[in-house]
Structure 1
Amino acid sequence: MHATVHDLFTATAARTPAAEFLFTESVTARAYGIAAGAIRWGEAAAEVERLRTAYAQAGYGHGHRVGLLLENRPAFLFHWFALNALGVSVVPINAEMRSAELVYLIGHSEIGLAVTLPERAADLRTAAAQAGIAFSTMGPDDEVPPAQVAAPRAGEAIGTGTECGLLYTSGTTGRPKGCMLSNAYFLRAGEWYAALDGVCSMRCDAERVITPLPLNHMNAMAFSTMVVLVAGGCLVQLDRFHPKTWLQSARESGATIAHYLGVMPAMLLAAAPSAADKDHAIRWGFGAGVDRKNHAPFEARFCFPLVEAWAMTETGAAACVMANREPRLVGTSCFGRQQDHVEIRLVDDEGQEVTGDAPGELLVRSAGDDPRRYFFSGYLKDEEATREAWAGGWFHTGDLVRRDATGNFFFVDRKKNVIRRSGENISAVEVESVLNQHPAVKTSAVAATPDAVRGDEVLACIVVREALDASQHAQIAASIVEHALAQLAYYKAPGYVAFVDALPLTASQKIQRGQLRELAQALPGQGHCIDTRAMKKRQA
């Protein structure tokens, strides 16, 4: 059993030194100004060892934290593994972060060094000064500056419980929380993935995993990277998702497994069909959130299954549930059935088990003696939030899920996104999914706004594809609501349609639900917010 991510990497590199470890296809190479092609396991191991020696000589060790602002470049992985060997935790920094976000992250994590793209070094140093943190920066190929302080845990052995990474949640409803993730967390993620069966069987040393997802998120760090370390094979880490060239990248790299998020299938389906849609070697896709209406059409057109899964940064693979066995119930938001490694409850607002297929909050824990085994180690500097998340010995996910009579789980929405109108629970995600199919809608976000009679009313913020005159607002709003009424129960349709230039988003491009709720309080009565409540009538 390996004790660290670095141990696992070096063992696999020693076993397959001449095999391809990383493949950079042409689009990513151009975006980053780096060489296209393969880096072999042996070459990667030599670079990791060079960096490990440099960091050790500069005084970095067990208990330090180092920031990585390197986007999805190979250098991210090399510096991560080298630092991990010394017991140093890495703090991935989203390159989209700006001043206030950087001040918070640097101050909260207390990183003394960031390995960064040179053009962002000054921003990081300015943020560190504002946070009052002694701080250095270096480029990925620079000499390592001396550590600011001695390693806090220098006398302790490095092992599975050592912090490997500090990943910040998106902060859709408040300040991002720092999730402390151990070596055990990452190792378990790779082992779980490599042991999948059914639709998602892994072939040792043969798979080529392509992902456009960012290395500052757990999916790319803990799943796609770690499965390659456990099972061998090659990682194809894209700079980001490019819908026009994604299939070309898949072909060029020989990808056999693809990682996705829900928006990606929709963007690929928006392109005109082509014979080239089936010209790839992809066996299956690993992801979450594909729109129900897109699921079957995508699989028919591109000829590989999109296998839906559920996990969170806090849970890693410890409570991951995946629809990797048939029947997958395509097009239903089904993410699989309970497996032996996890215990699951669905509860109402009072903490009581829900009955039938009613939705309830998903509570999870590891099966066995230790309910927190392989989960996150806690929220940094926030023991109260950690205790709250684990109330009653179960991790409270904040996700609403329902379960059918045969044990299949179906994602409904985030609990905080649910709108309660006249006693009916309405999922913001469900309504957004329908609104986004209207030809005038580029993107939408739905939230509750107060209603004196019904408690909440549905308010939709709409970003349109083409600019509108104010005189067109009422007509387009009516068209959007009619579109919703044709596909949803009347009470789910928007009672207000607000035309906005942009939606409030987090640095990772998720809807900033906290800001959205505040916005929804103030929009009714403004000129660009159309009252469509009169259109919402119960069907005869």
Structure 2
Amino acid sequence: MNVAASWCGTIVSCGTTMLTPRDVAHRLSKCGADCIICTPELAASLDEITKSLPLRIVVSDSQEDIRGGWICYNELLESCHGRPAQPCVATRGDDISQLFFTSGTTGKPKMVPHTQASFTTGHIGTIRYWLDLGEDDMIWNISDTGWAKAAWSSLYTPLMAGATSFIHQMPRFDAKETLRALCEYPVTVLCAPPTVYRSLVQCELSRFPLKALRHCVSAGEPLNPEVMHAWTNNTGLQIYEGFGQTETTLLCGVLKGMKLKFGSMGKSAPGYNLKVLNEQQQELPPYHEGKLAISLKQGHPCGLFKGYLYDEQRTSEAFRDGYYFTGDRAYYDDDGYFWFVGRADDVIISSGYRIGPFEVESCLLEHPAVAESAVVSSPDELRGEVVKAFVVLAENFKHHQVEALIADLQNYVKTATAPYKYPRKIEFVDSLPKTVSGKIRRIELRAKEWAGQSEPSGGSSSGSGSISSSSSSRHGG
């Protein structure tokens, strides 16, 4: 559908199937879509909020799944047989082709437009130097199709490289099934978030000879050095990390032929000039922590978006003084390798999903038991970090049974917004730390959670996606 959309000059905005009707309604109201394509299950839940759309399409083999007011995708295909092919639209390089939504900390998801050029020409470096893709390769990109990372490595890069994209429609991730598939099919390049690698190394890898696999990359969140060691010791393959955002293509990575430095994001990718700046926008020397930014003084990189759609304020905050600010903090060493320190905002990246605290906090505040809430990241061995909510209870709920109340709040968030956003940890407190102006000091709560531990290092993507191979993805948006 993405290829057909580009052919016709249609803008595509992908969303994870875990989005709730409220999430979808927000997106539709912001982007102005006039068509929705989904499964029968989603059509049932989205029927009411999509009635004003001119075109609603259901992908199903059975006519029984088609609700009133919806069109069967397979019937549309059948109706085209024998008709002349639609001529390709002569689009411009700066025409929007993809529209992604990426989470933030102080508001609703932002709209990130990518053009016909930014996700094609802008990914040449990704293909050649990070994914190392050629015509004989088969790549398996394990990523939710709602994120920019899926567009990166499941569609555009293999298509341009002439490679084959491998798709496995597992209902949910299964480590042993993943290893079985890697043994059975000639997958040569694996692109996956660290959560996947963490799960794979817990299996008995000696039982799964990965004969075809030759190159592995990591995306979506930080990767632990111990997981890298375990994977290499058992497979003989190394994992090459990178860094990018929903707003960009590959910004930084351990590229083809480069020496690995465990914990490093690697060097600037071709086409990007990464800098570390202080508060006065002055470039810092090696080993000095500062704001990670892209210099625009030599021109605007092809893979970098031009600004958030219909949001001049956030665009002006990101683009200023001749730089694009990623929202992350980092430093670099004498060899030019970059090292991730932390996110300047409070976005949480859990199992590759990018979660804005504001969205979860807003959802919690709709529950009658919650007077105030603050959401931060909390360390987790498997997921890297998870959502934790600090909750000040409303007066008439302060004596309720704690475990039952926690379960109730978690279930409420799961049903009110996308399930991956729910707080896996909840702590009830009497008050929240605040600034003089009344703003919640999430940094203080986060420091408490990570006391004695290192916050995730390696990258952040947009989505899909900043990429730790999280968009600010972290990739995928």
Provide TM-score, normalisation by structure 2.
Answer: 0.67
The aligned residue for residue 107 of structure 2 is 174
Listed one character per residue, the Cα deviations across residues 204-253 of structure 1 (whole Å, up to 9, x for unaligned) are 32000012202221112123322211121210123353212111111222
Q: Describe the superposition over 1:450-504 as per-residue Cα deviations: whole angstroms up to 9, x where unpaired.
A: xxxxxxxxxxxxxxxxxxx989xxxxxxxxxxxxxxxxxxxxxxxxxx9998597
Q: How do 1:105-504 and structure 2 match up within 5 A?
A: 105-129=27-51, 133-140=52-59, 141-143=73-75, 157-171=90-104, 173-196=106-129, 201-202=132-133, 204-239=134-169, 241-271=173-203, 273-288=204-219, 289-317=222-250, 319-330=251-262, 332=263, 334-365=264-295, 368=298, 370-417=299-346, 432-433=378-379, 436=381, 444-445=386-387
Residue ranges of structure 1 left out of the alignment (5+ in a row): 1-78, 146-155, 419-430, 450-468, 472-497, 525-531
Cα RMSD (Å): 4.0
**Shift of residue 366, structure 1, vs aligned partner:** 5.7
Alignment match, 1:10: none
1:436 positional shift: 2.5
Deviations 1:8-56 (A, max 9, x none): xxxxxxxxxxxxxxxxxxxxxxxxxxxxxxxxxxxxxxxxxxxxxxxxx
1:191, distance to aligned residue in structure 2 (A): 2.1
Q: What residue number does 1:465 align with?
A: none
Counterpart of 2:10?
88
- Aligned in 2, Cα 1:169/1:96: closer, same or farther, shift over 3 Å? same
The 1:499–1:344 alpha-carbon spacing in structure 2 relative to 1, beyond 3 Å, is farther
- Distance in 2, matches of 1:407 and 1:245, equals 39
Contact 2:138 2:165 in 1 (8 A): yes
CA contact (8 A) 1:211 1:238 kept: no
- Cα displacement (A) at 1:520: 7.6
Q: Secondary structure at the match of 2:118?
A: helix
SS in 2 for 1:374: coil
Whether the aligned pair in 2 keeps the contact of 1:402 and 1:412 (CA below 8 Å) is yes
Report % sequence identity.
20
Q: Deviations over 1:296-349 (max 9, x none)?
A: 1222123221100001010124x344444332113x2x1111345211111234
- What are the superposed Cα offsets for residues 351-394 of structure 1, whole Å, 9 maximum, x if unpaired? 343444132221014673x3253312321211221121112121
Partner-residue secondary structure (3-state), 2:321: helix
Q: What SS does the aligned partner of 1:379 have?
A: coil
Q: CA deviation at 1:292?
A: 2.7
Q: State the partner residue of 2:81.
A: none
**Conserved 8 A contact 2:292-2:326:** yes
Q: In 1, distance between residues paired with 2:426 and 2:292?
A: 23
Determine if contact 1:309/1:320 at 8 Å carries over to the other structure.
yes
Distance 1:284 1:521 in 2: 51
How far apart are residue 134 of structure 1 and its match? 3.5
CA 269–502 in structure 1, closer or farther in 2 if over 3 Å, else same: farther
Distance in 2 between the 1:521 and 1:345 partners?
42
Q: Which moved more, 1:257-266 or 1:319-328?
A: 319-328
- Higher Cα radius of gyration: 1
Return 245-254 or 287-296, whichever deviates more: 287-296
| 2:100–2:111 contact (8 Å) kept in structure 1 | yes
Choose from 74, 79, 104 the match for 2:26.
104
Counterpart in 2 of 1:466? Answer: none
CA distance in 2, matches of 1:250, 1:108: 40
Shift of residue 84, structure 1, vs aligned partner:
1.3
More helix as a share of residues: 1
Match of 1:126, SS state, is: coil
Residues paired across the two proteins, number: 370
The gaps in structure 2 that reach 5 residues or longer are 60-72, 78-88, 348-376, 392-400, 434-446, 453-477
**TM-score for the superposition, normalised by structure 1:** 0.60
Q: In the superposition, relative to structure 1, how do residues 410 and 446 fare at CA in structure 2: closer, same or farther (>3 Å)?
A: farther
Shift in Å at residue 194 of structure 1? 2.8
Contact 2:180 2:208 in 1 (8 A): no
CA contact (8 A) 1:247 1:280 kept: no
Q: CA offsets, 1:76-100, max 9 Å, x none? A: xxx2211211110111121101121
- Cα 1:304/1:241, change in 2 over 3 Å: farther
C-alpha distance in 2 between matches for 1:349 and 1:277: 50
Matching residue's letter, 1:282: L
> Secondary structure of 1:128's partner?
coil
**Structure-2 change in CA distance of 1:137 and 1:265 (3 Å):** same
- Opposite residue 310 of structure 1, the aligned amino acid is F
Equivalent residue letter for 1:248: R
CA distance in 2, matches of 1:350, 1:307: 33
Whole-angstrom CA distance in 1 between matches of 2:265 and 2:335: 13
- CA gap of 1:446–1:96, structure 2 versus 1, over 3 A, is closer
The one-letter amino acid paired with 1:114 is I
The higher relative CO (CA closer than 8 Å, separation ≥ 6) is in 2
Distance 1:521 1:304, change over 3 A: farther
Q: Is the 8 A contact 2:252 2:265 kept in 1?
A: no
